[in-house]
Structure 1
Amino acid sequence: MSLSIGKALKWWKKGIQPNMKEINSAQDFVDSLLSAGDKLVIVDFFSPGCGGCRALHPKICQFAEMNPDVQFLQVNYEEHKSMCYSLNVHVLPFFRFYRGAHGRLCSFSCTNATIKKFKDALAKHTTDRCSLGPSKGLEERELVALASNKDLSFDYTPKPKPLPMPDLEEEEEIASEPALPANMEFTLLSTLNATQEAEEKLLLATSGR
Protein backbone atom coordinates (compact mmCIF):
# COMPACT_ATOMS: atom_id res chain seq x y z
CA MET A 1 0.00 0.00 0.00
CA SER A 2 2.79 2.43 0.91
CA LEU A 3 4.51 1.68 -2.40
CA SER A 4 1.40 2.56 -4.42
CA ILE A 5 0.96 5.82 -2.50
CA GLY A 6 4.57 6.74 -3.14
CA LYS A 7 4.10 6.26 -6.87
CA ALA A 8 0.87 8.27 -7.04
CA LEU A 9 1.13 11.15 -9.47
CA LYS A 10 0.87 14.65 -8.07
CA TRP A 11 -2.22 16.43 -9.36
CA TRP A 12 -0.30 18.92 -11.52
CA LYS A 13 1.45 16.03 -13.28
CA LYS A 14 -1.77 14.24 -14.21
CA GLY A 15 -3.15 14.55 -17.73
CA ILE A 16 0.02 16.26 -19.00
CA GLN A 17 0.12 16.59 -22.80
CA PRO A 18 3.24 16.52 -25.05
CA ASN A 19 3.00 20.30 -25.49
CA MET A 20 3.03 20.93 -21.72
CA LYS A 21 6.34 21.50 -19.92
CA GLU A 22 7.17 22.22 -16.28
CA ILE A 23 9.78 24.97 -15.86
CA ASN A 24 12.88 24.08 -13.79
CA SER A 25 14.65 27.44 -13.43
CA ALA A 26 14.69 31.09 -14.50
CA GLN A 27 17.12 30.23 -17.31
CA ASP A 28 14.85 27.40 -18.46
CA PHE A 29 11.89 29.80 -18.47
CA VAL A 30 13.70 32.44 -20.55
CA ASP A 31 15.10 29.86 -22.97
CA SER A 32 11.72 28.15 -23.42
CA LEU A 33 10.08 31.42 -24.41
CA LEU A 34 12.84 32.33 -26.85
CA SER A 35 12.96 28.87 -28.46
CA ALA A 36 9.20 28.75 -29.08
CA GLY A 37 9.60 30.73 -32.30
CA ASP A 38 6.26 31.98 -33.62
CA LYS A 39 4.19 29.59 -31.47
CA LEU A 40 1.68 30.88 -28.98
CA VAL A 41 3.05 30.21 -25.47
CA ILE A 42 0.78 30.07 -22.42
CA VAL A 43 2.49 30.25 -19.03
CA ASP A 44 0.51 28.69 -16.19
CA PHE A 45 1.60 29.86 -12.72
CA PHE A 46 0.23 27.47 -10.09
CA SER A 47 0.79 26.26 -6.55
CA PRO A 48 0.34 22.67 -5.27
CA GLY A 49 -1.65 24.03 -2.34
CA CYS A 50 -3.94 26.24 -4.45
CA GLY A 51 -7.46 24.76 -4.63
CA GLY A 52 -8.37 26.93 -7.62
CA CYS A 53 -5.26 25.78 -9.49
CA ARG A 54 -6.05 22.13 -8.81
CA ALA A 55 -9.66 22.46 -9.94
CA LEU A 56 -8.64 24.26 -13.13
CA HIS A 57 -5.80 21.89 -14.08
CA PRO A 58 -7.92 19.23 -15.92
CA LYS A 59 -9.40 21.92 -18.18
CA ILE A 60 -5.97 23.37 -18.93
CA CYS A 61 -4.87 19.88 -19.98
CA GLN A 62 -7.94 19.64 -22.25
CA PHE A 63 -7.07 22.98 -23.86
CA ALA A 64 -3.52 21.75 -24.41
CA GLU A 65 -4.83 18.55 -26.04
CA MET A 66 -7.16 20.54 -28.34
CA ASN A 67 -4.39 22.99 -29.28
CA PRO A 68 -1.27 20.90 -30.01
CA ASP A 69 0.45 23.86 -31.73
CA VAL A 70 0.32 25.92 -28.52
CA GLN A 71 3.15 25.54 -26.00
CA PHE A 72 2.06 25.40 -22.34
CA LEU A 73 4.66 26.19 -19.66
CA GLN A 74 3.94 25.34 -16.02
CA VAL A 75 5.62 27.35 -13.27
CA ASN A 76 5.35 25.94 -9.75
CA TYR A 77 5.02 28.97 -7.47
CA GLU A 78 6.21 27.08 -4.39
CA GLU A 79 9.44 26.00 -6.11
CA HIS A 80 10.06 29.34 -7.84
CA LYS A 81 8.72 31.94 -5.40
CA SER A 82 11.68 34.25 -5.90
CA MET A 83 11.36 34.15 -9.69
CA CYS A 84 7.60 34.76 -9.52
CA TYR A 85 8.22 37.70 -7.21
CA SER A 86 10.62 39.24 -9.73
CA LEU A 87 7.99 38.73 -12.45
CA ASN A 88 5.30 40.42 -10.31
CA VAL A 89 3.16 37.29 -10.07
CA HIS A 90 1.31 37.40 -6.75
CA VAL A 91 -2.15 35.95 -7.55
CA LEU A 92 -2.92 32.32 -8.45
CA PRO A 93 -3.96 30.74 -10.74
CA PHE A 94 -2.28 33.19 -13.13
CA PHE A 95 -1.65 33.05 -16.88
CA ARG A 96 0.52 34.94 -19.35
CA PHE A 97 0.34 34.63 -23.13
CA TYR A 98 3.43 35.22 -25.32
CA ARG A 99 4.05 35.05 -29.05
CA GLY A 100 7.18 35.53 -31.16
CA ALA A 101 8.36 39.07 -31.73
CA HIS A 102 5.19 40.44 -30.10
CA GLY A 103 6.37 39.26 -26.69
CA ARG A 104 3.72 39.32 -23.98
CA LEU A 105 0.19 39.50 -25.38
CA CYS A 106 -1.88 39.46 -22.17
CA SER A 107 -1.86 38.35 -18.55
CA PHE A 108 -4.72 37.61 -16.17
CA SER A 109 -5.93 35.47 -13.28
CA CYS A 110 -8.90 33.15 -13.65
CA THR A 111 -10.60 30.16 -12.00
CA ASN A 112 -13.20 27.62 -13.07
CA ALA A 113 -15.85 30.27 -12.44
CA THR A 114 -14.18 32.72 -14.82
CA ILE A 115 -12.81 30.19 -17.35
CA LYS A 116 -14.45 32.18 -20.16
CA LYS A 117 -11.62 34.70 -19.77
CA PHE A 118 -9.12 31.97 -20.66
CA LYS A 119 -11.23 30.66 -23.56
CA ASP A 120 -11.61 34.14 -25.05
CA ALA A 121 -7.86 34.85 -24.82
CA LEU A 122 -7.07 31.47 -26.37
CA ALA A 123 -9.51 32.04 -29.25
CA LYS A 124 -8.16 35.53 -29.86
CA HIS A 125 -4.48 34.64 -29.90
CA THR A 126 -4.57 31.27 -31.68
CA THR A 127 -5.58 32.94 -34.94
CA ASP A 128 -3.03 32.53 -37.71
CA ARG A 129 -0.52 35.34 -37.64
CA CYS A 130 3.14 35.87 -38.30
CA SER A 131 5.35 38.06 -36.14
CA LEU A 132 8.43 39.28 -37.96
CA GLY A 133 11.74 39.06 -36.12
CA PRO A 134 13.10 36.79 -33.37
CA SER A 135 11.08 35.81 -30.30
CA LYS A 136 11.01 38.58 -27.73
CA GLY A 137 10.12 36.55 -24.63
CA LEU A 138 10.33 38.47 -21.36
CA GLU A 139 10.50 42.23 -21.29
CA GLU A 140 13.84 43.96 -20.70
CA ARG A 141 12.89 45.12 -17.20
CA GLU A 142 11.85 41.57 -16.25
CA LEU A 143 15.16 40.14 -17.45
CA VAL A 144 17.02 42.78 -15.45
CA ALA A 145 14.90 41.96 -12.38
CA LEU A 146 15.71 38.24 -12.70
CA ALA A 147 19.42 38.94 -13.13
CA SER A 148 19.50 41.20 -10.06
CA ASN A 149 17.74 38.57 -7.91
CA LYS A 150 20.46 36.98 -5.79
CA ASP A 151 18.33 33.87 -5.22
CA LEU A 152 18.45 32.99 -8.92
CA SER A 153 21.40 31.78 -10.95
CA PHE A 154 20.54 33.86 -13.99
CA ASP A 155 22.92 36.15 -15.85
CA TYR A 156 21.83 38.86 -18.22
CA THR A 157 23.61 41.82 -19.77
CA PRO A 158 21.25 44.74 -20.36
CA LYS A 159 21.07 45.94 -23.94
CA PRO A 160 22.97 49.22 -24.48
CA LYS A 161 20.70 52.18 -24.93
CA PRO A 162 20.98 53.71 -28.41
CA LEU A 163 22.83 57.03 -28.51
CA PRO A 164 20.63 60.01 -29.31
CA MET A 165 20.90 61.18 -32.89
CA PRO A 166 22.52 64.65 -33.15
CA ASP A 167 20.44 67.51 -34.43
CA LEU A 168 21.91 68.22 -37.87
CA GLU A 169 20.88 71.87 -37.81
CA GLU A 170 22.60 72.46 -34.46
CA GLU A 171 25.67 70.55 -35.62
CA GLU A 172 25.94 72.73 -38.73
CA GLU A 173 25.64 75.87 -36.65
CA ILE A 174 28.47 74.75 -34.36
CA ALA A 175 30.71 73.58 -37.21
CA SER A 176 30.43 76.70 -39.34
CA GLU A 177 31.77 80.00 -38.01
CA PRO A 178 29.55 83.02 -38.52
CA ALA A 179 30.57 84.93 -41.63
CA LEU A 180 31.58 88.58 -41.21
CA PRO A 181 29.70 91.22 -43.21
CA ALA A 182 31.54 92.47 -46.34
CA ASN A 183 31.93 96.01 -44.99
CA MET A 184 33.36 94.66 -41.72
CA GLU A 185 36.02 92.67 -43.64
CA PHE A 186 36.96 95.83 -45.63
CA THR A 187 37.25 97.87 -42.42
CA LEU A 188 39.53 95.29 -40.80
CA LEU A 189 41.72 95.10 -43.91
CA SER A 190 42.03 98.91 -44.10
CA THR A 191 43.00 99.09 -40.44
CA LEU A 192 45.64 96.40 -40.95
CA ASN A 193 47.15 98.21 -43.96
CA ALA A 194 47.22 101.56 -42.13
CA THR A 195 49.01 99.94 -39.20
CA GLN A 196 51.65 98.41 -41.48
CA GLU A 197 52.27 101.81 -43.23
CA ALA A 198 52.70 103.59 -39.90
CA GLU A 199 55.24 100.99 -38.74
CA GLU A 200 57.22 101.35 -41.99
CA LYS A 201 57.34 105.19 -41.69
CA LEU A 202 58.52 104.93 -38.10
CA LEU A 203 61.25 102.49 -39.12
CA LEU A 204 62.46 104.76 -41.91
CA ALA A 205 62.46 107.81 -39.65
CA THR A 206 64.50 105.97 -37.03
CA SER A 207 67.07 104.67 -39.49
CA GLY A 208 67.37 108.17 -41.02
CA ARG A 209 68.49 109.60 -37.68
Structure 2
Amino acid sequence: MAAVQAMAKVSVGSPGGNRAAGSLGRRRGAVAVRFGGSWSWRKSPFVGGRMAVGPRRSRPASRNLVASSVQVSMNLSFGKTMKWWEKGLQPNMRAIHTAQDLADSLINAGDGLVIVDFFSPGCAGCHALHPKICQFAERSPDVQFLQVNFEEHKSMCHSLHVHVFPFFRFYRGAQGRLCSFSCTNATIKKFKDALAKHRPDRCSLGPIRGLEESELLALTANKDLKFTYTREPEVAPTMDDATEIITPDLPRLPTPPKPLVRQGSEDRALVSLGR
Protein backbone atom coordinates (compact mmCIF):
# COMPACT_ATOMS: atom_id res chain seq x y z
CA MET A 1 0.00 0.00 0.00
CA ALA A 2 1.41 3.33 -1.05
CA ALA A 3 0.20 5.15 2.05
CA VAL A 4 2.61 7.63 3.46
CA GLN A 5 4.19 5.68 6.25
CA ALA A 6 7.24 7.82 6.70
CA MET A 7 9.58 7.78 9.58
CA ALA A 8 11.64 10.93 9.45
CA LYS A 9 14.74 11.20 11.48
CA VAL A 10 16.20 14.59 12.21
CA SER A 11 19.95 14.82 12.12
CA VAL A 12 22.24 17.69 13.00
CA GLY A 13 25.69 17.98 11.51
CA SER A 14 27.45 17.03 14.69
CA PRO A 15 30.01 14.28 15.34
CA GLY A 16 27.31 12.05 16.85
CA GLY A 17 24.96 12.55 13.92
CA ASN A 18 22.36 10.17 12.63
CA ARG A 19 23.94 6.98 11.36
CA ALA A 20 20.83 5.95 9.41
CA ALA A 21 21.57 8.61 6.84
CA GLY A 22 24.43 6.46 5.58
CA SER A 23 26.10 7.62 2.47
CA LEU A 24 23.89 10.66 2.17
CA GLY A 25 26.23 12.45 4.53
CA ARG A 26 25.54 14.71 7.38
CA ARG A 27 24.30 18.24 6.85
CA ARG A 28 23.81 20.73 9.61
CA GLY A 29 20.15 21.76 10.14
CA ALA A 30 18.84 19.18 7.68
CA VAL A 31 16.27 16.43 8.11
CA ALA A 32 16.72 12.93 6.77
CA VAL A 33 13.32 11.57 5.72
CA ARG A 34 12.87 8.03 4.57
CA PHE A 35 10.05 7.28 2.12
CA GLY A 36 9.64 3.64 1.05
CA GLY A 37 13.23 2.67 1.79
CA SER A 38 14.97 5.74 0.32
CA TRP A 39 16.34 8.68 2.19
CA SER A 40 16.19 12.37 1.31
CA TRP A 41 17.41 15.50 3.06
CA ARG A 42 15.10 18.40 3.81
CA LYS A 43 15.73 21.68 5.57
CA SER A 44 14.12 21.96 9.01
CA PRO A 45 14.14 24.66 11.70
CA PHE A 46 14.52 21.95 14.33
CA VAL A 47 17.94 21.45 15.75
CA GLY A 48 18.60 17.82 16.60
CA GLY A 49 16.11 15.21 17.84
CA ARG A 50 13.93 12.78 15.93
CA MET A 51 10.67 13.43 14.13
CA ALA A 52 8.16 10.77 13.10
CA VAL A 53 5.95 11.44 10.10
CA GLY A 54 2.89 9.19 10.02
CA PRO A 55 -0.92 9.18 9.86
CA ARG A 56 -2.53 12.09 11.65
CA ARG A 57 -4.04 11.31 15.03
CA SER A 58 -7.24 12.87 16.35
CA ARG A 59 -6.69 15.29 19.19
CA PRO A 60 -8.89 15.22 22.29
CA ALA A 61 -11.53 17.91 22.53
CA SER A 62 -10.40 21.03 24.28
CA ARG A 63 -11.52 21.72 27.79
CA ASN A 64 -13.43 24.80 26.72
CA LEU A 65 -15.55 22.83 24.26
CA VAL A 66 -16.30 20.14 26.85
CA ALA A 67 -17.26 22.75 29.44
CA SER A 68 -19.51 24.60 26.99
CA SER A 69 -21.31 21.39 25.96
CA VAL A 70 -21.91 20.49 29.61
CA GLN A 71 -23.27 23.96 30.31
CA VAL A 72 -25.65 23.79 27.33
CA SER A 73 -26.97 20.41 28.43
CA MET A 74 -27.50 21.73 31.97
CA ASN A 75 -29.37 24.76 30.66
CA LEU A 76 -31.62 22.54 28.57
CA SER A 77 -32.38 20.30 31.53
CA PHE A 78 -33.23 23.27 33.76
CA GLY A 79 -35.40 24.81 31.03
CA LYS A 80 -37.61 21.73 30.95
CA THR A 81 -38.22 21.79 34.71
CA MET A 82 -41.88 22.43 35.54
CA LYS A 83 -42.86 25.32 37.75
CA TRP A 84 -44.53 24.48 41.06
CA TRP A 85 -47.89 25.90 39.93
CA GLU A 86 -47.79 23.64 36.85
CA LYS A 87 -47.44 20.42 38.83
CA GLY A 88 -50.38 18.21 39.75
CA LEU A 89 -52.89 20.07 37.54
CA GLN A 90 -56.20 18.32 36.93
CA PRO A 91 -58.34 18.43 33.75
CA ASN A 92 -60.69 20.95 35.40
CA MET A 93 -57.86 23.38 36.20
CA ARG A 94 -56.88 26.03 33.65
CA ALA A 95 -54.70 29.14 33.57
CA ILE A 96 -56.21 32.54 32.70
CA HIS A 97 -54.34 34.53 30.03
CA THR A 98 -56.31 37.79 29.69
CA ALA A 99 -59.12 39.72 31.36
CA GLN A 100 -61.40 38.83 28.46
CA ASP A 101 -60.54 35.19 29.00
CA LEU A 102 -61.62 35.45 32.64
CA ALA A 103 -64.95 37.11 31.80
CA ASP A 104 -65.71 34.64 28.99
CA SER A 105 -64.82 31.64 31.16
CA LEU A 106 -67.30 32.68 33.84
CA ILE A 107 -70.06 33.29 31.29
CA ASN A 108 -69.45 30.00 29.48
CA ALA A 109 -69.50 28.04 32.75
CA GLY A 110 -73.27 28.47 32.97
CA ASP A 111 -74.71 27.33 36.29
CA GLY A 112 -71.55 25.45 37.25
CA LEU A 113 -69.43 26.53 40.18
CA VAL A 114 -66.21 28.35 39.24
CA ILE A 115 -63.35 29.00 41.67
CA VAL A 116 -60.80 31.64 40.69
CA ASP A 117 -57.42 31.06 42.34
CA PHE A 118 -55.21 34.18 42.52
CA PHE A 119 -51.60 33.27 43.34
CA SER A 120 -48.07 34.67 43.17
CA PRO A 121 -45.04 32.55 42.18
CA GLY A 122 -42.99 34.07 45.00
CA CYS A 123 -45.64 33.42 47.66
CA ALA A 124 -44.59 30.63 50.05
CA GLY A 125 -48.19 30.19 51.22
CA CYS A 126 -49.38 29.71 47.63
CA HIS A 127 -46.65 27.15 47.04
CA ALA A 128 -47.57 25.15 50.14
CA LEU A 129 -51.32 25.28 49.43
CA HIS A 130 -51.12 24.32 45.76
CA PRO A 131 -51.02 20.50 46.25
CA LYS A 132 -54.17 20.62 48.39
CA ILE A 133 -56.01 22.75 45.83
CA CYS A 134 -55.12 20.13 43.23
CA GLN A 135 -56.58 17.45 45.50
CA PHE A 136 -59.82 19.42 45.87
CA ALA A 137 -59.98 19.78 42.09
CA GLU A 138 -59.48 16.03 41.66
CA ARG A 139 -62.31 15.27 44.11
CA SER A 140 -64.62 17.85 42.49
CA PRO A 141 -64.52 17.23 38.73
CA ASP A 142 -67.75 19.23 38.27
CA VAL A 143 -66.12 22.40 39.63
CA GLN A 144 -63.94 24.52 37.37
CA PHE A 145 -60.72 26.02 38.80
CA LEU A 146 -59.21 29.08 37.11
CA GLN A 147 -55.66 30.17 37.95
CA VAL A 148 -54.57 33.81 37.75
CA ASN A 149 -50.82 34.44 38.01
CA PHE A 150 -50.19 37.77 39.73
CA GLU A 151 -46.74 38.24 38.15
CA GLU A 152 -48.26 37.95 34.67
CA HIS A 153 -51.49 39.88 35.37
CA LYS A 154 -50.62 42.51 37.97
CA SER A 155 -52.77 45.19 36.37
CA MET A 156 -55.82 42.94 36.21
CA CYS A 157 -55.42 41.87 39.85
CA HIS A 158 -55.18 45.49 40.95
CA SER A 159 -58.36 46.34 39.07
CA LEU A 160 -60.15 43.45 40.80
CA HIS A 161 -58.83 44.64 44.20
CA VAL A 162 -56.81 41.48 44.81
CA HIS A 163 -53.70 42.28 46.83
CA VAL A 164 -53.37 39.32 49.25
CA PHE A 165 -52.28 35.84 48.22
CA PRO A 166 -53.44 33.13 48.00
CA PHE A 167 -56.89 34.58 47.28
CA PHE A 168 -60.06 32.80 46.07
CA ARG A 169 -63.36 33.91 44.58
CA PHE A 170 -66.40 31.69 43.98
CA TYR A 171 -68.81 32.40 41.10
CA ARG A 172 -71.99 30.69 39.94
CA GLY A 173 -74.55 31.42 37.23
CA ALA A 174 -77.08 34.18 37.83
CA GLN A 175 -75.88 34.63 41.42
CA GLY A 176 -72.54 35.96 40.23
CA ARG A 177 -69.91 36.23 42.92
CA LEU A 178 -70.77 34.07 45.90
CA CYS A 179 -67.85 34.73 48.26
CA SER A 180 -64.21 35.75 48.35
CA PHE A 181 -61.52 35.13 50.95
CA SER A 182 -57.84 34.44 51.55
CA CYS A 183 -56.61 31.29 53.25
CA THR A 184 -53.48 29.23 53.86
CA ASN A 185 -52.75 25.72 55.10
CA ALA A 186 -53.54 26.87 58.63
CA THR A 187 -56.96 28.22 57.59
CA ILE A 188 -57.83 25.67 54.90
CA LYS A 189 -61.16 25.10 56.64
CA LYS A 190 -62.44 28.28 54.97
CA PHE A 191 -61.97 26.69 51.59
CA LYS A 192 -63.55 23.39 52.65
CA ASP A 193 -66.63 25.09 54.10
CA ALA A 194 -67.12 27.34 51.07
CA LEU A 195 -66.78 24.39 48.69
CA ALA A 196 -69.28 22.29 50.68
CA LYS A 197 -71.75 25.19 50.81
CA HIS A 198 -71.70 26.24 47.16
CA ARG A 199 -70.89 22.97 45.40
CA PRO A 200 -74.46 21.55 45.12
CA ASP A 201 -75.98 22.13 41.68
CA ARG A 202 -78.52 24.91 41.48
CA CYS A 203 -80.64 26.17 38.62
CA SER A 204 -80.32 29.84 37.72
CA LEU A 205 -83.52 31.84 37.45
CA GLY A 206 -81.98 34.54 35.27
CA PRO A 207 -79.13 35.27 32.87
CA ILE A 208 -75.56 34.36 33.80
CA ARG A 209 -73.87 37.27 35.55
CA GLY A 210 -70.21 36.25 35.65
CA LEU A 211 -68.12 39.14 36.97
CA GLU A 212 -69.86 41.85 38.93
CA GLU A 213 -70.68 45.02 37.03
CA SER A 214 -68.30 47.00 39.23
CA GLU A 215 -65.51 44.55 38.32
CA LEU A 216 -66.32 44.82 34.62
CA LEU A 217 -66.27 48.62 34.76
CA ALA A 218 -62.94 48.55 36.60
CA LEU A 219 -61.40 46.31 33.96
CA THR A 220 -62.72 48.53 31.19
CA ALA A 221 -61.27 51.64 32.82
CA ASN A 222 -57.82 50.03 33.02
CA LYS A 223 -55.90 51.24 29.97
CA ASP A 224 -53.33 48.45 30.29
CA LEU A 225 -55.99 45.83 29.54
CA LYS A 226 -57.61 45.18 26.19
CA PHE A 227 -61.05 44.74 27.62
CA THR A 228 -64.34 46.27 26.58
CA TYR A 229 -67.68 46.18 28.33
CA THR A 230 -70.91 47.78 27.18
CA ARG A 231 -73.56 48.39 29.76
CA GLU A 232 -77.02 47.21 28.88
CA PRO A 233 -79.36 50.12 28.04
CA GLU A 234 -82.06 50.86 30.55
CA VAL A 235 -85.54 50.02 29.35
CA ALA A 236 -87.75 53.13 28.93
CA PRO A 237 -91.19 52.98 30.62
CA THR A 238 -94.16 52.24 28.32
CA MET A 239 -97.33 54.35 27.97
CA ASP A 240 -99.25 52.10 30.31
CA ASP A 241 -96.53 52.41 32.90
CA ALA A 242 -96.48 56.19 32.41
CA THR A 243 -100.25 56.37 32.85
CA GLU A 244 -100.06 54.45 36.03
CA ILE A 245 -97.31 56.73 37.28
CA ILE A 246 -98.98 59.99 36.24
CA THR A 247 -102.58 59.16 37.29
CA PRO A 248 -102.41 56.92 40.28
CA ASP A 249 -105.52 55.70 42.01
CA LEU A 250 -107.02 58.46 44.16
CA PRO A 251 -107.61 57.58 47.80
CA ARG A 252 -111.20 57.20 48.92
CA LEU A 253 -112.68 59.96 51.08
CA PRO A 254 -113.87 58.89 54.53
CA THR A 255 -117.63 58.69 55.17
CA PRO A 256 -118.94 61.80 57.04
CA PRO A 257 -120.06 61.02 60.59
CA LYS A 258 -123.73 61.12 61.58
CA PRO A 259 -125.01 64.32 63.40
CA LEU A 260 -125.25 64.04 67.13
CA VAL A 261 -128.71 64.25 68.77
CA ARG A 262 -128.98 66.43 71.79
CA GLN A 263 -130.73 65.00 74.80
CA GLY A 264 -132.20 68.34 75.95
CA SER A 265 -135.78 69.07 76.99
CA GLU A 266 -136.70 70.66 73.64
CA ASP A 267 -135.60 67.57 71.72
CA ARG A 268 -137.65 65.34 74.02
CA ALA A 269 -140.72 67.45 73.35
CA LEU A 270 -140.27 67.20 69.62
CA VAL A 271 -139.90 63.48 69.83
CA SER A 272 -143.03 63.09 71.90
CA LEU A 273 -145.05 65.16 69.42
CA GLY A 274 -143.83 63.02 66.55
CA ARG A 275 -142.03 65.78 64.79
Normalised TM-score (structure 1): 0.78
1:70 counterpart = 2:138: no
Aligned AA for 1:157? T
Aligned AA for 1:152? L
1:9-20 equivalences in 2 (<5 Å)? 9-20=82-93
- Determine the structure 2 residue equivalent to 1:150: 223
In the alignment of these two chains, the number of paired residues is 173
Partner Cα separation in structure 1 for residue 75 and residue 162 of structure 2: 37
**Partner SS for 1:37:** coil
Candidates 115, 139, 142, aligned match of 2:188: 115
- Determine the structure 1 residue equivalent to 2:213: 140
Partner Cα separation in structure 2 for residue 81 and residue 25 of structure 1: 11
- Determine the structure 2 residue equivalent to 1:83: 156
1 or 2, which has the higher helix percentage?
1
Distance 1:110 1:164, change over 3 A: farther
Deviation at 1:118, TM superposition (A): 0.2
- Determine the structure 1 residue equivalent to 2:174: 101
Candidates 234, 244, 255, aligned match of 1:161: 234
Aligned AA for 1:113? A
Q: Is the 8 A contact 2:112 2:201 kept in 1?
A: no
Distance 1:172 1:25, change over 3 A: same
**Partner SS for 1:83:** helix
Aligned AA for 2:219? L
1:37 counterpart = 2:94: no
Aligned AA for 1:96? R
Deviation at 1:144, TM superposition (A): 1.0
Q: Percent identical across equivalent pairs? A: 73
Q: Which has the higher contact order (CA 8 A, sep 6+)?
A: 1
**Partner SS for 2:118:** strand
Q: Which runs of 5+ in 2 are unaligned?
A: 1-73, 249-275
- CA-atom RMSD in angstroms: 1.6
Candidates 105, 110, 132, aligned match of 1:59: 132
1:165-204 equivalences in 2 (<5 Å)? 168=243, 171-172=246-247
Aligned AA for 1:133? G
Partner Cα separation in structure 2 for residue 169 and residue 160 of structure 1: 23
Deviation at 1:2, TM superposition (A): 2.5
1:7 counterpart = 2:84: no
Deviation at 1:167, TM superposition (A): 5.9
- Determine the structure 2 residue equivalent to 1:194: none
Candidates 114, 120, 139, aligned match of 1:47: 120
Q: Is the 8 A contact 2:117 2:169 kept in 1?
A: yes
Q: After superposition, what is the alpha-carbon deviation per residue over 1:86-121, rounded to whole angstroms, capped at 9, x for unaligned?
A: 111111100000011111110000000000000000
**Partner SS for 1:30:** helix
Normalised TM-score (structure 2): 0.60
- Of the structure 1 ranges 82-91 and 39-48, higher mean CA displacement relative to structure 2 is found in 82-91
Q: After superposition, what is the alpha-carbon deviation per residue over 1:112-159, rounded to whole angstroms, capped at 9, x for unaligned?
A: 000000000001111232222332100111111111110000111122
After superposing on structure 2, the runs of 4+ consecutive aligned residues of structure 1 that deviate more than 3 Å are: 161-170
Aligned AA for 1:78? E
Distance 1:33 1:170, change over 3 A: closer
Partner Cα separation in structure 1 for residue 91 and residue 173 of structure 2: 20
Partner Cα separation in structure 2 for residue 8 and residue 70 of structure 1: 28
